[in-house]
Structure 1
Amino acid sequence: MFPMRWKCGCSYDGTDYSGWQTQDGPLSIQQVVEECLSEIFKKDTKAIGSGRTDAGVHAMEQVFHFDFEWKHDPGSLVEAMRSLLPDTVTPLFVQKVEDDFHARFSAVSKWYQYRIYLGQATALENRYSWSLYGDLALEAMAKATSLLEGTHDFGAFAANRGIEYKTTVRKMFRSEMLQEKDFLLLNFQADGFMYKMVRSFAGTLANVGLRRLSLDAFHELLKSAERTPMVFVAPAKGLFLKKVFY
């Protein structure tokens, strides 16, 4: 009998992890999840995620799939996972899916949010946001954020780690900046993201807010698709994977 395919969602505090994907060195979220599933099923079990999140990045809803002939209620599997996973990783749901479902390749878009705290964040908020000080040009930041919406070559915002992309063109369905009390929330939903792309957005938009980069210069940077020293990578701690859409 072939194993069933299951889709699972989880949230996590990525502060103390090397990211989602297992690699040599520090502990990853994937490793923790696979160890949990393997303990429950008494068999090595692979968890395939919707994509990587970098070291220190958080998730409100990461999605992964795994294969196993689970004959009990999905809710009981969630409870079993919750009892074994550390407090920094929380299972959200488990559901049966078709055999051709793939957490990464079946996704049509992802939503990331970057959180900026205006001023000095409290000890608690400092773990999950980036503090910016001073009189920021918020209107210019909001306009620059909106320029990212649509289909563009985002080569200027792709950090280079030896990756050769087939294309750096992506479709940005949503790019907006919202202010909620002391927070700026930068929301980006696209059909795909490149390495450190969202953090490059956030850091460069901060340069606009700090008046180090004009709105026109930001627009020219986007159109050029060429990375320059004005593209700054914001700290990982402010970034959240909010949702994966299928």
Structure 2
Amino acid sequence: MRYKAVVAYDGTDYNGWQKQINGIGIQTVIEKALEKMLGHACEAVASGRTDGGVHALGQVFHFDSEKKMKGERMKTALNSLLPGTIRIQSIEPVSDQFHARFDAVSKRYDYLVGDCGNNPFAVRFMAPVREKLDVLKMQECAQVLVGTHDFTSFTSAKIDQRKSRVRTIDAILICEEKNGIRMIFEGDGFLRYQVRMMAGTLLEVGKGKLTKADVEVMLEGKDKHLCRYKAEAQGLYLVRVDYEKDDCREAILRFLMEELQERDIRKWWGHKR
């Protein structure tokens, strides 16, 4: 039987999702716990990798087992074997054809920045930025990146040259919150470092160091060397992975983006939808 699991984790102390030779990957920790619970080895196949230090609220993975258990019981048992920094949110049986990576149709990442000041806890979960950022200018420039584009300039040079770098960004929203700024990225998928490089670029826009024209040159140039900005890992969260298109949410996102171009609605937006 195949199971779909949703997991949240604090990525600070891990070398990313994937199993590592010279470090601890979250995948390794989960697979060891699964083996103890199920009595046999199995692979945890995720919707995609997250980098070292990156967090997740809604990472999805699947695994196979001949052992049948109710999802809630399995969740409780697995959490009892996992460290407190990795928490299973749900487990449910799915079709044998379900694939956590290849069936995903949309992902949401959030990037948090703010002045951490003297707060010793914020530095693990928010990227420190002390400058006053021009949020409206950031939102304006973010729209350059929305749509279907070749994001070669905003990704790692290590990606196989045979793989497409074309991705569709459905929405980028820049929102002021009580303790900082939240950047929301929604799209059909993201290349390695893409969100962090887009976030880093938009932060430079907010600081007044880049213009809309600069962002357009980076995107249209399709050259890895054109973008030198990559935001720090601890501000990034994989919030949600979707496996069915939600037309209602897509309509809401389009409405919000149009409104952001017309007037300042930053105050009432917030981080929950």
In the superposition, the TM-score normalised over structure 2's length comes to 0.85
Structure 2 equivalent of residue 169 of structure 1: 166
Structure 2 equivalent of residue 134 of structure 1: 131
The yes-or-no answer on 1:103 pairing with 2:100 is: yes
| Contact 1:49–1:62 (Cα < 8 Å) also in 2 | yes
SS of equivalent residue, structure 1 residue 90: strand
Aligned counterparts of 1:179 and 1:107: Cα–Cα separation in 2: 29
Structure 2 equivalent of residue 115 of structure 1: 112
Structure 2 equivalent of residue 235 of structure 1: 232
Structure (1 or 2) with the greater helix fraction:
2
2:211 aligned to which of 209, 214, 221: 214
Deviations 1:161-183 (A, max 9, x none): 25325221111111111111122
Structure 2 equivalent of residue 203 of structure 1: 200
Structure 2 equivalent of residue 62 of structure 1: 59
Structure (1 or 2) with the greater strand fraction:
1
2:2 aligned to which of 5, 9, 13: 5
Compute the displacement of 1:220 (Å): 2.3
Amino acid at match of 1:19: G
| Contact 1:118–1:184 (Cα < 8 Å) also in 2 | no
Compute the displacement of 1:206 (Å): 1.1
Compute the displacement of 1:230 (Å): 4.6
Compute the displacement of 1:68 (Å): 0.7
Aligned counterparts of 1:121 and 1:68: Cα–Cα separation in 2: 47
Aligned counterparts of 2:203 and 2:67: Cα–Cα separation in 1: 48
Compute the displacement of 1:223 (Å): 2.1
1:46 aligned to which of 43, 54, 58: 43
Structure 1 equivalent of residue 222 of structure 2: 225
| Contact 2:157–2:224 (Cα < 8 Å) also in 1 | no
Compute the displacement of 1:63 (Å): 0.5
2:122 aligned to which of 121, 125, 128: 125
Compute the displacement of 1:119 (Å): 6.0
Unaligned runs of 5+ in 2: 244-273
Q: How does 1:179-190 map to 2 (within 5 A)?
A: 179-190=176-187
1:159 aligned to which of 142, 156, 160: 156
Aligned counterparts of 2:10 and 2:176: Cα–Cα separation in 1: 23
Aligned counterparts of 2:162 and 2:114: Cα–Cα separation in 1: 33
Structure 1 equivalent of residue 268 of structure 2: none
Structure 1 equivalent of residue 264 of structure 2: none
Aligned counterparts of 1:201 and 1:121: Cα–Cα separation in 2: 28
Deviations 1:188-244 (A, max 9, x none): 111121111100011111111111111221122222222345531111100000011
Aligned counterparts of 2:205 and 2:228: Cα–Cα separation in 1: 11
| Contact 1:120–1:132 (Cα < 8 Å) also in 2 | no
Aligned counterparts of 1:225 and 1:184: Cα–Cα separation in 2: 28
Compute the displacement of 1:118 (Å): 4.0
Structure 2 equivalent of residue 192 of structure 1: 189
In the superposition, the TM-score normalised over structure 1's length comes to 0.94
Residue 143 to residue 60, structure 1, CA distance change in 2 (3 Å): same
Aligned counterparts of 1:61 and 1:163: Cα–Cα separation in 2: 27
Amino acid at match of 2:98: F
SS of equivalent residue, structure 1 residue 115: strand
| Contact 2:116–2:128 (Cα < 8 Å) also in 1 | yes
The yes-or-no answer on 1:17 pairing with 2:33 is: no
Compute the displacement of 1:121 (Å): 6.5
| Contact 2:174–2:184 (Cα < 8 Å) also in 1 | yes
User: How many residues in Structure 1 have an aligned counterpart in Structure 2?
Assistant: 243
